[in-house]
Structure 1
Amino acid sequence: MAKLLFSDIDGTLINTDLEVTPKTRDAIRRQIINGNVFIPVSARMPQAVMTAAGQITKNCPMIAYNGALVLDEMGRPISSRFMKASEAAEICSYIEKKNNQTTWNVYSGYDWFYSPGNNAELVKKEEQIVQVKATPSSIAEVKKLKGVHKVLIMGNPEQLDQEQKDLTAVYPDLVLVKSAPNLLEIVVNGVSKGEGIKELAEEFNVKLADCWAFGDNYNDVSMLETVGHPFLMGNAPAELKKQFVNVTSDNNHDGIAQVLEKLS
């Protein structure tokens, strides 16, 4: 019976040099050869998922945008959940009015748009990490989109904490979760990495008990709580380590490989 192996990317699959280490790469490839399925799971857009996963394999299913877009190994959508473009535009307008050095990004399908007017160097840094180029845009252009998979707000951690509280109160139909201290991810209600895992487990006819998952941050909690074999990375926040029994080494010391090498 095939096993499904789910892995977050940033802080988990890749090290601080943004690379999949040879040991982790080879451990995952051995699992693929053995008939198991490797599935990257990320807040990233599809092209940025493959920046990392492509270091291991050329084709794989994936969960992008924290679960808002689930694709099979051929890139065909299994599920796709949008928020209204008008709602995304309202959030972008809120951020611009704050004028506090936080900046908005909007993702729709394979497109990434951002506000060029405020703290755009944060966007440039993200471009370097994911190796995908963003398109400068405006709120007027955002309103014209057919739908939005994700809004990403970048900025100072304390300001993002306040904006998370403010926006959660105004938009009960949205899920707001931090994937890093300076990144606030926004998707529609019902979207999570855990839900994406359930959809792919059903697609592959594999029991959740036969699913493994690796993660390092708060947006990974739903994923880790969904599978039969959750593993938290050694570089995860101390608060999360209290929640999960299985803690492997950090992303710079082949935490994933340590677990997979013991998997028959």
Structure 2
Amino acid sequence: MTLFCSDVDGTLLDHRRTLSDRTVAAIRAVRSEGHAFVLCSSRMPASLEGLERLCGVEPTPLIAYNGGLVLRADRTVVTDVAIAPDDAEVAYAVCSRFGLHASFFAGDDWYAWGPDEWTEREATITAVDPSETSAHDYVGSGRVDEQPPHKVMAMGDPSLVDRLEAALAERPGLVAYRSKPTYLEIASSSCSKGDGLRALAAELGVDLADTVFFGDNHNDVSAFAVAGTAVAVSNAVEPALEAANVVTAHHREDGVAEYLEAWLAGR
């Protein structure tokens, strides 16, 4: 069995931020041949499950939060690496000081800053609604200690996000990833997509030489270093292109599907 694993945004999704019919067909084809195709993203599990349902298949394993939460098909946990509560509280305090929106994601709970444009935008992108409890109540009530977050998403003016990124660089327990000028994704420095891929391959009994990872951005490079075959879409950032073994078509041109189709045809 080959384990195919793909990043989502900028890699697997088309220009409509969804799975094209061609991509769905290619995923179904590799699965029908007995291979695994797993989503790996900074998104929360509920958002990935929405995409999974588009493929019309039974639940499969998931790698959520950039490897911070790896789940089996039955949603039991393989690995769970959350942000330390102290680090989460510092992120909250700095975002408050700079006037940035900060969403806290813990498992399938999303604690948003408030009903603002950033919450609305994230809900539209991920097709998931936030919890009734706000980020302020999540931190202020002490729930952050009992249920620490897997990700903090800070959103706002790029210059303020620059300042946040610089401030958090002093926290060794945190790693920050700039997914776009207005977004800073914050996670535990103890997890990565590479760790997630390694853990899932071991769980499924697949040799790492028999894994294929698709990606486009900086946070995919760690998985490229682990995978037997690293495939970058042509729109990938330069570090990802340099780390890849193969470059396929642009994500808007169904690059992942193009690779899968050729791989199946060559067998």
Establish whether TM, by shorter chain, passes 0.5.
yes
Q: Sequence identity, in percent?
A: 31
Partner Cα separation in structure 2 for residue 82 and residue 191 of structure 1: 9
2:134 to 125, 137, 140: 137
Preserved contact between residue 93 and residue 139 of structure 1 (Cα < 8 Å): no
RMSD across aligned positions (CA): 1.7
Counterpart in the other structure of 2:230: 230
1:48 equivalent in alignment to 2:47: yes
More divergent stretch after superposition (123-132 vs 148-157): 148-157
What CA distance in whole angstroms lies between the structure 2 residues aligned with 1:138 and 1:185?
15
* Match in the other structure for 2:108: 110
Native 8 Å contact 1:213 1:229 kept in 2: yes
Q: Which residue of 2 aligns with 1:161?
A: 162
SS in 1 for 2:23: helix
Q: Which residue of 1 aligns with 2:190?
A: 190
2:119 to 123, 127, 137: 123
Distance 2:129 2:59 in 1: 22
Contact 1:47 1:132 in 2 (8 A): yes
Aligned to 1:257, the other structure's residue is in SS state: helix
- Cα drift, residue 245 of structure 1: 4.3
C-alpha displacement of 1:207: 1.0
Deviation of the 1:261 alpha carbon: 1.3
State yes or no: 1:151 paired with 2:146. Answer: no
C-alpha contact 2:114 2:134 (8 A) present in aligned 1 = yes
Task: Classify 1:157/1:221 alpha carbon distance in 2 versus 1 (closer, same or farther; 3 Å).
Answer: farther
Structure 1 residue 134 displacement after superposition: 1.1
| Range that drifts further, 194-203 or 222-231 | 222-231
Flag the 1:178–1:58 CA change in 2: closer, same or farther, 3 A. Answer: farther
Deviation digits for residues 74-97 of structure 1, max 9, x if unmatched?
111111112233431221111111
Partner-residue secondary structure (3-state), 1:12: coil
- Contact preservation (8 Å) 1:5, 1:212: yes
- The alpha-carbon deviation at position 239 of structure 1 amounts to 4.9
What secondary structure does 1:19 align onto?
A: coil
Q: TM-score, normalised by structure 1?
A: 0.92
Q: Which amino acid aligns with 2:183?
A: L
1:176-205 Cα distance to aligned partner (Å, 9 max, x none): 112333321111122001000000110111
Secondary structure, counterpart of 1:191 in structure 2:
coil
Contact 1:89/1:139 (<8 A) preserved: no
Residue range with higher mean Cα deviation, 29-38 or 154-163: 154-163
8 A Cα contact 1:14 1:52, kept in partner: no
Distance in 2, Cα, partners of 1:227 & 1:239: 16
Task: Give how far 1:139 is off.
Answer: 3.1
Q: Structure 1 segments of 4 or more deviating over 6 A? A: none
Matched residue count: 258
- Structure 2 unmatched ranges of 5 or more: none
Q: Quote the residue 1:244 is aligned against.
A: 244
How far did residue 126 of structure 1 move?
0.9
Tell me, yes or no, if the aligned pair for 1:173 and 1:188 is still in contact at 8 Å. yes
The match for 1:19 is: 18
Report the more deviating stretch, 253-262 or 160-169.
Answer: 160-169
What is the CA–CA distance in structure 2 between the aligned matches of 1:178 and 1:53, rounded to whole Å? 26
Counterpart residue identity of residue 126, structure 1: E
